[in-house]
Structure 1
């Protein structure tokens, strides 16, 4: 992601990217995406019946 964005704008965009990513293990399944305290995103099946999950690492890099 490039551009002149505030940190909040960048985090919103990162969340959108994480929500649109569909790992193979969750294809065809409704999923919920959240963010951990370490900054990583995770995707879990919405129905809670599947054991598949995905941890998505999007690196935040700040340029001066």
Structure 2
């Protein structure tokens, strides 16, 4: 089995190797946060509700629209 980490030069203590492995493990595990899911408004029940009819110009046309 081939080792994942080989120290080529110097004499590292087990604590130094453990610190190096911990730093490399945390750096590799970092991922970009996933984007927030988009809201699907087409199935929102509020869309089917009628908006209030306000008095004004062409208000009679708006009263027939959903």
Classify the TM-score, shorter chain: 0.3 to 0.5
Greater strand fraction, Structure 1 or Structure 2? 1
Q: Which has the higher contact order (CA 8 A, sep 6+)?
A: 1
Highest CA radius of gyration, 1 or 2? 2
With structure 2 as the length reference, what TM-score do the two structures score? 0.33
Greater helix fraction, Structure 1 or Structure 2? 2
